[in-house]
Chain A
Amino acid sequence: MSESVTMLIDAANGGDAEALRRLFARVYDELKRLAHIQLGRAGGQTLNTTGLVHEAYLKLAQPGEGGLTDREHFFSLAARAMRQIVIDRARAQIAEKRGGAQRDLVDIDAAFDVASGELGPEALLRLNEALDHFAAEEPRLARLIELRFFAGLGLDQIAVLQQVSERTLNRDWRQAKVRLYLALNPD
């Protein structure tokens, strides 16, 4: 490793867009690698996303360096990277289902089975898109969704990470869910 994650985070915080890009790439690669290992270890069944993010942190962060802001930044980046991995995977699944035909369009009629809590690939892509729009409006709530949903962190963990009370965060979370849900299901 030529440059430490902490150095990259510092540079990114200082507005260095290239550092941010490299940082993201590093986190993304590391998560993919760890996911691969984890799947191998668990017999190819499921991923423990929280464990994955933490493991990536262990791997990437230099021990003894970095304070709280760095950690929050790291987890935000990890959540972003997790999201990217999930969405890439969903795209690949859709492409596969269509006999390998390369189609970027999302099937609008895809069932959006909210109640199950398990989103299919099409639903995931719609959610991803809606989250982009939502982020323009409410960046804080959108980040919360990334941390909670894509990185699988608990609200209690996020509360510690962002140094806000769990009560506040719980309200934010209910609102974030409602607003994203309504964006996906305009009545």
Chain B
Amino acid sequence: MAEPHRLHELFDSAIDLPPAERAAFVAAACGDDPALRAALERWLRADASLGTFLETPPPLIAEARPENVADAAPRSFGPWRVLRSLGVGGMGEVWLAERADGEYEQRVAIKQVAWPTPGLLQRFRRERQILARLEHPNIAHLIDGGVDANGSPYFAMEYIEGAPVTAYAQAHALSVRACVALLLQICEGVRYAHQNLIVHRDLKPSNILVSADGVPKLLDFGIAKILAASEIDSAPATGTGQHLLTLDYAAPEQYRGAVVTTATDVYALGVVLHELLTGLRPFARAGEGAARMQAVLHDEPALPSAGVEAKFADAAARRRALRGDLDSILLTALARDPQRRYASAEAFAADLRNYLEGRPVGARGHGNFYTLRKFAARNRAGVAAAVVAAVALVAGLAVALAQRQAALRERDEAERQTAVAEAVKNFLNEDVIRAASPFLKTSLKDVTVREAIERGAGKIDGRFKGQPAVELETRIELGALFLQIGEPDRAEAQYRAAVQLGSASVDVPAAKAQLARYSLAQALAQRSKNDEAKTLLEATDKLAQAQDERDPRLSSTRNSAWGTYYYHLGNPLKALPYYERSVADFIRWQPDNELVLASRMINLASVKLTTGDIEAGERGVREAMASLERSDGKQTFGYGMALSLLGRMRFFRHDYAGAEQLCTQAATMLRAILGGDVAFVADAVTILSRLQTATGRYAEAADSARLVYEAYLSSIGATGFNTQVYRMFLGHAEYLAGQRELGLKTSEEGLVALSAIVPPDHISLQLMKFHLASDYLDFDASRSTAARTIVDALDVDALQRISPEGDWPARLAALHGQIAFYDGDRERARGLLEPAIATMTQMNSARFEIERAQRTLQKLDDRGR
């Protein structure tokens, strides 16, 4: 045998050569060694005859047929028929498809997720509707989404024929100004999405296609969030969820696994603009992999103008054009610290517009923003290297995956389905609904209530062909379950389908159709779609008059829907009688259903509480709890709600420790039963957050408030009343936690959003406006006018009803005192502040409010001296 090492080397060299040159190479290399030559020739012969040896993984099971091992493209996704593959993207394969039912002509790009992450389906369902609402000329519209025959989710997006923005710019040799103008259009789309609280997280040229007529379209908005493995933005980058992160465009905070914000998208837009203008991405010269990651994490980019690629015909002119304004703009967009970047795409766009129109650019003149220096040493080793390699690994894996499994053969099950419809209804009632009902069960062994209900919902479609009455009934039941677990948007979807069935079929009894309509109205009211709810309620009332009294179920649903409508309109006093009648109806309908009755009573008690009647509220809650204890319901959803309400009452009495104990217990119990931080859990956490602010635990308070806000955002969306109310509270907590500017901004954004949802004098706004005014006064004199406008419109009675803490006169006096101080009316200020502080101290009011009043008093004293 020839010397192995030499043989290996020669073989490696030989296979790099074209086959025709190999013989000469072998002869020259092994001239005086016939054994080596024979061995090498043998290896090369084998290499040539290997065919696909070892190239295809072995079939794992006997039934595997060779034709199935190859990539088998699915033929359809839901109503979409696949035309051809468009290639493999970051998240999986992409297909061009058209509607299979010929309803109307539409071509879409179907994207399917190659690497499912834990919880993908839930996030997918939750986000889908939010994303479908994004409609903007610069955003590819999400048209549809569903689950294929294998149970994997897919998205159908508007199909864009276009080129990635970088390729487009190159092909059209766009000038500097044309590039900036193009990016402005891209910013438009990003700004719109940001307004809708959606961050892209994965902006890159392949997600920004420019059509032949020069219009850029953004793809995959919000998809990255669905694909992330973690619910929280701050999943560590080593986590499995980061595999779709595009390294070249990712912001430093994404490498770090820190919080992703709108500024993250700004960074990616900055990278894209940098590439358009200079031909290279920032840090492209810092090497590959770990070295580049070090640079991104620790250095500021070099001056863009200095890095213009020589490939541009106008390289010298380009350098000159970038110098100054565009350098500053780019470096601001690319700041390592998100706080120093443009806060939004809008701010970025505004500065780009300044540049185009020759106005002074905001990014300049902030000398402290940046020291425009070349990067420092970047050879710091550390954990970051492992992170980048791990991210690259998973990214590589995701891209390489193109193999698909053959879709299940379509089976004609219509006949069978009709036959089993009754059985299915029983199944849903007995196995899914009964098993899932929060009132009947506590957390199930393996599935949470939420999962069980979702499973049930997923089983309905197409299962009741020709049996509209059965389907309607099932959907109403499921809708009620979704309401119970705090998912009114999904309840709405179920009810809508039920209403549709009721009006489309003569087989459905009139009372059932009306039941569906009232149920839908209730879900609409919960989602603050007030006008639609009202129209539907009034129309249904006209239809239902005759049935109402004889059918206690219908009557109960009607009263509950009207009560919910008034309650969400901010009128709990008007809502109360409806809720009371609804409970009475329910007792007529199901006299023995103590568990569900208890939950209705708790609901009623919480409305009473909102009207400011603590005693009646507490009585109702205690009765319901006693009833639950009698029927062995101590580990139920209703009981958790009751604990939460009791905690709330303790808070109103400023018994912070007692409130904390009860609400923590409630949140833990509800979370376990419902399987997540849904609205009902948020109820308890809200109180936790409030008592945390009151006792000076501001960082905790901000965390709690954020959780509440996000829970509402995901369950009722950005246009939900509670979402924006708690956004304002989040702002307040952020302010207290030391992020003063950010906090005010968050609160103000919430207030603006609320003005689109409810009238400005809505009673529930009082509390949040009070907090905002208090923060304004704490901030500095410049906001005192804004604070005064708010304080003048506050109503002490309304505040006492919303939050019956008893200390409102003193708290308002404290604010008036602070205003008087800013007015320079020292005597009035002192006269208001001193008694207010005494009363608030005596009543154990929120610590920060006392301190704010004391600080003002201190200033009075200081100046008096």
Contacts and interface: CB of A to CB of B under 8 A. Distances in A.
A160 B243 CA distance: 13
A71 to B, nearest CB: 6
Interface string A53-75: 01101100101111110010000
Contact of A50 (B55, B56, B400): B400
Given A42-B405, A64-B236, A148 B54 contact: yes
B47 interface: yes
Contact of A157 (B57, B118, B393, B405): B393
Given A46-B68, A86-B58, A152-B57, A116 B52 contact: yes
A84 to B, nearest CB: 12
Interface stretch (B382-390, B491-499, B509-517): B382-390
Contact of B238 (A54, A64, A96, A150): A64
A147 B236 CA distance: 27
Interface in A145-187: 145, 148-154, 156-157, 160-161, 163, 171, 174-175, 177-182, 185, 187
B566 interface: no
B150 to A, nearest CB: 5
B17 interface: no
Given A45-B65, A68-B390, A181-B53, A149 B58 contact: yes
B406 A61 contact: no
Interface in B50-66: 50-66
A47 interface: yes
A137 to B, nearest CB: 9
* Interface residues of chain A: helix, strand, loop or mixed (majority): helix
Contact of B50 (A49, A93, A177): A177
Nearest to B15: A174
A89 interface: yes
A50 B400 CA distance: 10
Contacts of B859: none
B69 interface: yes
A43 B60 CA distance: 14
B410 to A, nearest CB: 11
Nearest to A92: B62
A47 B117 CA distance: 18
Given A42-B150, A181-B46, A48 B403 contact: yes
Contact of B393 (A35, A42, A160): A160
Given A44-B63, A118-B66, A156-B396, A150 B115 contact: no
Interface residues of B, number: 61
Contact of A177 (B53, B236, B389, B409): B53
The range of chain A's interface size is 35 or more
Contacts of B55: 117
Nearest to A86: B58
Contacts of B116: 55
B46 A178 contact: yes
B214 interface: no
A86 B60 CA distance: 6
A41 interface: yes
Nearest to B70: A46
A46 B60 contact: yes
B151 interface: yes
Interface in B81-124: 114-118
Contacts of B56: 117-118
A178 B50 contact: yes
A48 B15 CA distance: 31
Contact of B239 (A50, A63, A124, A187): A63
Given A42-B406, A118-B66, A151-B57, 4 more contacts: A58-B118, A86-B60, A160-B389, A180-B54
Interface of B: 8, 11-12, 15-16, 42-43, 46-47, 49-66, 68-69, 114-118, 150-151, 229-230, 235-236, 238-241, 383, 386-387, 389-390, 392-393, 396-397, 400-401, 403-406, 408-409
Interface of A: 35, 38-39, 41-51, 54-55, 57-58, 61, 63-68, 71, 85-86, 89-90, 93, 96, 114-119, 124, 145, 148-154, 156-157, 160-161, 163, 171, 174-175, 177-182, 185, 187
14 contacts: A51-B114, A63-B230, A63-B235, A63-B240, A86-B58, A114-B53, A117-B56, A118-B56, A118-B58, A145-B54, A149-B57, A153-B397, A174-B11, A178-B46
